Amino acid sequence: MRVVNTKMKQASSFMLVAALAAAVAGCGGNGNQKEEANSSTNASGTETKQNGNASDQPKLTNLKYWVANHSAASAQMKTYAEMEMYKELEKRTGVKVEFQHPPLDPQQAKEQFNLMIASNELPDVIETYWTDGYPGGPEKAIEDGKIMKLNDLIDQYAPNLKKLLEEHPDWKKQITTDSGTIYSFPFLRGDDKVRVFFGPALRQDWLDKLGLSVPTTVDEWYAVLKAFKEKDPNGNGKADEIPFYIDKDLLNVDAPFLGAWGINYNFYQDGGTVKYGPIQPEYKEFLTTMNKWYKEGLLDQDFAAPNAKLFDNKMTTNLLGSSVLYNGGGIAKYTNLMKDADPSFKLTAAPYPVLKAGDTPIWGQKDFAYTGIGAAITTSNENPAETVKWLDYAYGQEGEMLFNYGLEGVSYKMENGKAVLMPELLNPPGGVSVQQSIAKYTRSTWSAPYVLSDNFQMQYLVLPEQKKALEVWSQPTVERKMPLVTPTQEESGKFASVMTDIQTYRDEMLLKFIMGAEPIENFDKYVKKIQSMGIEDAIQIQQAALERFNKR
């Protein structure tokens, strides 16, 4: 049996290789397919021009649409097709959409995406994080013959999006690649107010109990956390409080806390020059501080292995004092969850900490209008022109209402020419979050290919704490944030292979330095090692990409 067992093992590993190779082999004919796809778009393009009649296009009735599901929606529906907004869209356009969702876990979703891309069977529409998600970026996706260049199609069949892009040249600049290609129907955040939704937060009721005020500098934070640890703010007589939680994923979102030192956890620009945060001398100071917090029990012992369920648990059992939270998915979520169990539970947003009192924070989360999420049309799509029309609907007036607010009379009503969300959506019964109750109708609390309006967003921020958070978190200048740059074809392979190894090493060493497994004295060695891994090349690639972006 042992023989069988080992053989099975061998067989399964062979099978894996075989499957991979077969998947790769399947792409053999791709070059042709791409040409065909291109020529067919061209053909249809010229055809319509000649006839001047778009109704010659066969009618679109079915679409396969790949997009990641969201936890707020997946809790109540199998696919987006059950969402009220898409049911209504089907009624209005006559297009039946079959949604394909990868697993919620981001790692597994990425795995499924990459395997799908390597195969020949693509859905008609893929909505994803194109700048980050496709290995090599959106230009490469077009080069690989996976998705279509949309410039001409948008020109001809997408009047709504076209008009928007003409009105907002900065949006156009962000969704276009260096070579002028538009590759997706973008998710756009219309106004500044909808671009800030993440930042430091802590327990207001704990602060009140201990007679402390909201900290603004790193030193003040230290004092507050120390008090959380020692003065038993949860009042159970045990020193079981976990004053603070942060992990590498949170750091990666525009560098909360790390930003106090003026750097981030990735590439940033300093007066037009690209730098890499984790090799700056300031990073060493950050690590020293975090190491101190860890040693004194201020930083959660579990920060090395992020676990969302565990985090929820610590928050709702009165153990966790502070962290970096999303406005809707954090502050509102926990406040609603604790509404009945502990009415005194109150979270408050704190400004992004700085080193010297009175300084304006440089780093803080603030997205650009476009974050890289968009719906692209694949080369497997047999009716791109009609698909473009279908996608364009969301950018027109009717579509905007549908995508932002759902159904009139059901999820919103018009008052003085403004859409107002129904009160039952914003005050759901206990145990249901506002995000979940809205998710029944629309995707506007996370993302979709449309323009998110701030009229929606300001209503979504139901609690006064949330409105305050928006204000507090909007202070940072964000002057060092990199725009959404894309490497060129030739650079992308090199960049990816250099950065995979560096990021693995960076993440590993972050944990080791903070936990003290690696003495901080070895910081210089760590920097040398990253340099020997080729960070300079990667910085140059980013620098060139930044310059190309600025020239767009």
Partner 1 sequence: MQQLRTIRTDWKRNWAAYVMALPVIAYYILFHYGPMYGLQIAFKDFSLAKGIGASAWIGFEHFKDFFGGIYFWRLIRNTLLLNLYELLFGFPAAIILALLLNEIRAVLFKRFVQTISYLPHFISLVVVAGMMVDFLGRTGLVNQLIGVFGIEPIDFLKEEGWFRFLYVSSGIWQGIGWGSIIYLAAMATIDPTLYEAARMDGASRWKQMLHVTLPGIAPTIVILFILNMGNLLTVGSEKVLLLYNPLTYETADVISTYVYRKGIMEASYDFTAAVGLFNSVVSFVLIVSANSVIKRLSENKLW
- Distance between CA 480 and CA 248 in Å, rounded? 19
* Residue 24 or 341 with smaller CB distance to partner 1: 24
Shortest distance in whole angstroms from residue 484 CB to partner 1? 19
Which burial class, exposed, middle or buried, applies to 267 when counting CB atoms under 10 A from its CB (0-12, 13-18, 19+)?
buried
* Residue 16 or 414 with smaller CB distance to partner 1: 16
Shortest distance in whole angstroms from residue 150 CB to partner 1? 18
Shortest distance in whole angstroms from residue 185 CB to partner 1? 23
Shortest distance in whole angstroms from residue 489 CB to partner 1? 10
Report which of 330, 324, 355, 361 is spatially closest to residue 249, judged by C-alpha positions: 324
CB neighbourhood size of 26 (10 A): 13
Shortest distance in whole angstroms from residue 279 CB to partner 1? 15
* Residue 71 or 114 with smaller CB distance to partner 1: 114
Shortest distance in whole angstroms from residue 2 CB to partner 1? 5
Report which of 273, 277, 252 is spatially closest to residue 530, judged by C-alpha positions: 277
In degrees and rounded to multiples of 5, residue 221 shows phi and psi of -60, -45
Task: Give the interface with partner 1 as residue ranges (CB under 8 A).
Answer: 1-3, 5-7, 9-10, 13-15, 17-18, 20-22, 24-25, 27-31, 34, 107, 110-111, 114-115, 117-118, 135-136, 143-146, 301-302, 304-305, 493, 496-497, 500-501, 504-505, 507-508, 511-512, 515, 517, 529, 532-533
* Residue 170 or 501 with smaller CB distance to partner 1: 501
* Residue 260 or 499 with smaller CB distance to partner 1: 499
* Residue 144 or 254 with smaller CB distance to partner 1: 144
* Residue 34 or 468 with smaller CB distance to partner 1: 34
Shortest distance in whole angstroms from residue 32 CB to partner 1? 9
Residue 296, classed as helix, strand or coil, is coil
- Distance between CA 325 and CA 473 in Å, rounded? 11
* Residue 54 or 498 with smaller CB distance to partner 1: 498
Shortest distance in whole angstroms from residue 315 CB to partner 1? 17
**CB burial string 379-388: b at 16+ within 10 A, e below:** bbbebbbbbb
Shortest distance in whole angstroms from residue 116 CB to partner 1? 11
Q: State the alpha helices, DSSP H only, in 306-453.
A: 308-316, 333-338, 384-392, 397-405, 423-426, 434-439
Shortest distance in whole angstroms from residue 6 CB to partner 1? 5
Cβ atoms of 322 and 244 closer than 8 Å: yes
Residue 202, classed as helix, strand or coil, is strand
* Residue 4 or 357 with smaller CB distance to partner 1: 4
* Residue 127 or 518 with smaller CB distance to partner 1: 518
Cβ atoms of 196 and 325 closer than 8 Å: no
- Distance between CA 134 and CA 129 in Å, rounded? 8
SS (H, E, C) 225-282: HHHHHHCCCCCCCCCCCECECCCHHHHHCCCCCHHHHCCCCCEEEECCEEEEHHHCHH
Question: Between the CA of residue 285 and those of 310, 444, 513, what are the distances in Å?
Answer: 29, 40, 11
* Residue 144 or 367 with smaller CB distance to partner 1: 144
Shortest distance in whole angstroms from residue 231 CB to partner 1? 24
CB neighbourhood size of 414 (10 A): 12
- What is the length of the chain? 552
Residue 74, classed as helix, strand or coil, is helix
Write the single-letter amino acid at 117. Answer: I
* Residue 33 or 543 with smaller CB distance to partner 1: 33
Shortest distance in whole angstroms from residue 371 CB to partner 1? 21
Contacts of 258 (CB under 8 A, 6+ apart): 251, 264, 265, 277, 283, 286, 363
- Distance between CA 300 and CA 317 in Å, rounded? 15
Contacts of 440 (CB under 8 A, 6+ apart): 76, 77, 83, 84, 411
